[in-house]
């Protein structure tokens, strides 16, 4: 499994506008073609883009990720996502038209997937708010891939706000007929990166009426239940049932597509002592609980999940959290020139889960206190789920540098 774009971009392209410049779409297609030519005989699964929402929102609204551009949060995040969707669709069509016959691989995209739970489960308003928030985050990218257009609720809200702001055009772009045909149906599988759940309710009008950005456009506010267990990241709470709910909703909304969970994992704050860092019991419990919910989605709900990828194989650079938190199942000594890698306790546990293909044998169930398996589920011996750890990400910037040097 190889990811083509995980947020790196050649500086020369960024200087020319980056993903706000639609010329980048064509260059991304050239890059994808070269990568397919070079590695395609050894790759079964391709991910074109990793989390377009995260890249565009945190890069062009909050500005805490590259390129750190907060100059126009009203339009830039929407333009960025629009270009990424087109880049994805172009890379998909290139593979299907030029490489599929010889290589027989699959091409998909990975979307961040926070389950949106009504703040009050008995409130109809909160239920509507949760759906609206979900549409503005996950469906923003997923809906065009399955329908060829943006979610109706996004179109309605942003078009209306744009008109009130005196704009001649909506802040939410549109695909022309040619791009609709390219974007619609442009995936063989849907990758989801799921870590946690949020509580949602509608925002007060006074909070949003004067703002023009994604946050205000959603019309909602999100929070966390203080009773949910904390982790090494402030945004990541342990809520295992959220992943099952997400998978059921994808099945319902998009006619049960093939889904690969391309990232699922938990961060643990480094204590600065390797022996403590290796004893990652919270990570073990997290994966047992979440994998159990995935298997319920597969076996009870009939969700078409064919793969599960642990995030991540190694402790790495976690963007704005730098090296202060650890997602890896292998510890990395960043003070050592050799970057020494040491397996954590979670490695052996996950190895056994993978050998059992997700379901432990009945003889082992009594040893796993964190998994609750009903009598109905015990009858299943396993499932054909691809279980592995972090996908390999290629570098767009490395390709572009190669292209410049060899031109």
pLDDT in 10s for each residue of the chain, 407 residues: 999 999 999 999 999 999 999 999 999 999 999 999 999 999 999 999 999 999 999 999 999 999 999 999 999 999 999 999 999 999 999 999 999 999 999 999 999 999 999 999 999 999 999 999 999 999 999 999 999 999 999 999 999 999 999 999 999 999 999 999 999 999 999 999 999 999 999 998 765 556 899 999 999 999 999 999 999 999 999 999 999 999 999 999 999 999 999 999 999 877 666 666 899 999 999 999 999 999 999 999 999 999 999 999 999 877 776 777 789 999 999 889 999 999 999 999 999 998 887 766 555 544 433 333 333 333 333 333 445 555 655 555 444 443 433 33
Cβ contact 360:378 at 8 Å: no
Q: How far apart are CA 308 and CA 234, in angstroms?
A: 24
Sequence-ordered strand ranges (E) for 165-318:
189-193, 197-202, 220-223, 259-264, 268-269, 305-310
CA-closest candidate to residue 32, choices 390, 403, 389, 391: 403
Q: How far apart are CA 100 and CA 105, in angstroms?
A: 6
Task: Sort residue 101 into left (φ over 0), alpha (ψ -120 to 50) or beta.
Answer: alpha
Percent of the chain with pLDDT over 90: 78
Residue 241 falls in the annotated catalytic set: no
In the block, which residue shows the tokens 């279980």? 387
Q: What is the pLDDT of residues 81-118, one digit of tens each?
A: 999 999 999 999 999 999 999 999 999 999 999 999 99
The two tokens of residue 2 are 């190889």
Q: Which domains does the chain have, with CATH numbers?
A: 2-406 (3.20.20.80)
Cβ contact 201:120 at 8 Å: yes
Tell me the β-bridge partners of 109.
Answer: 190
Q: How far apart are CA 105 and CA 88, in angstroms?
A: 16
The two tokens of residue 99 are 């490489």
263, 285, 318, 377: which one is catalytic?
263
Q: How far apart are CA 377 and CA 368, in angstroms?
A: 15
Task: Find how far residue 138's CA is from the centre of its chain.
Answer: 9
Cβ contact 216:164 at 8 Å: no
Neighbours of 388 (CB within 10 A): 14
């Amino acid at each position: 499994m190889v990811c083509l774009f995980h947020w790196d971009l050649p500086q020369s392209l960024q200087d020319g506008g980056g993903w706000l410049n639609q010329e980048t779409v064509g260059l991304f297609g050239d890059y994808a073609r070269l990568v397919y030519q070079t590695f395609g005989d050894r790759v079964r699964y391709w991910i074109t883009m990793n989390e377009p929402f995260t890249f565009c929102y945190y890069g062009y609204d909050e500005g805490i990720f590259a390129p750190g551009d907060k100059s126009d949060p009203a339009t830039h995040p929407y333009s960025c996502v629009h270009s990424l969707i087109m880049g994805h669709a172009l890379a998909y069509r290139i593979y299907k038209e030029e490489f599929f016959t010889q290589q027989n691989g699959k091409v998909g995209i990975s979307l961040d997937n926070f389950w949106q739970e009504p703040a009050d489960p008995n409130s109809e308003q909160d239920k509507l708010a949760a759906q609206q928030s979900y549409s503005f985050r996950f469906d923003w990218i997923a809906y065009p891939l399955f329908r060829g257009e943006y979610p109706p609720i996004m179109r309605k809200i942003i078009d209306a706000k744009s008109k009130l702001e005196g704009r001649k055009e909506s802040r939410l772009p549109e695909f022309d007929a040619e791009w609709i045909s390219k974007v619609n149906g442009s995936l063989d599988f849907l990758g989801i990166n799921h870590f946690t759940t949020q509580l949602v309710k509608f925002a007060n009008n006074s909070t949003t009426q004067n703002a023009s950005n994604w946050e205000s456009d959603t019309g909602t506010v999100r929070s966390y239940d203080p009773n949910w267990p904390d982790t090494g990241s402030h945004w990541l709470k342990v809520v295992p049932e959220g992943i099952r709910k997400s998978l059921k909703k994808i099945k319902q909304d998009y006619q049960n597509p093939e889904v690969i969970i391309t990232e699922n994992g938990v961060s643990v704050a480094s204590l600065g002592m390797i022996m403590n860092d290796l004893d990652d019991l919270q990570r073990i419990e997290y994966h047992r609980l979440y994998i159990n919910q995935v298997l319920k989605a597969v076996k009870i709900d009939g969700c078409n999940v064919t793969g599960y990828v642990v995030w991540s194989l190694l402790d790495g650079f976690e963007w704005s959290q730098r090296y202060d938190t650890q997602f890896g199942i292998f510890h990395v000594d960043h003070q050592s020139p050799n970057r020494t890698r040491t397996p954590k306790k979670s490695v052996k546990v996950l190895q056994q889960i993978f050998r059992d293909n997700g379901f432990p044998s009945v003889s082992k169930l009594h040893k796993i206190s964190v998994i609750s398996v009903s009598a109905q589920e015990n009858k299943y011996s396993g499932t054909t789920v691809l279980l592995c750890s972090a996908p390999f990400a290629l570098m767009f910037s490395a390709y572009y540098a190669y292209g410049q040097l060899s031109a």
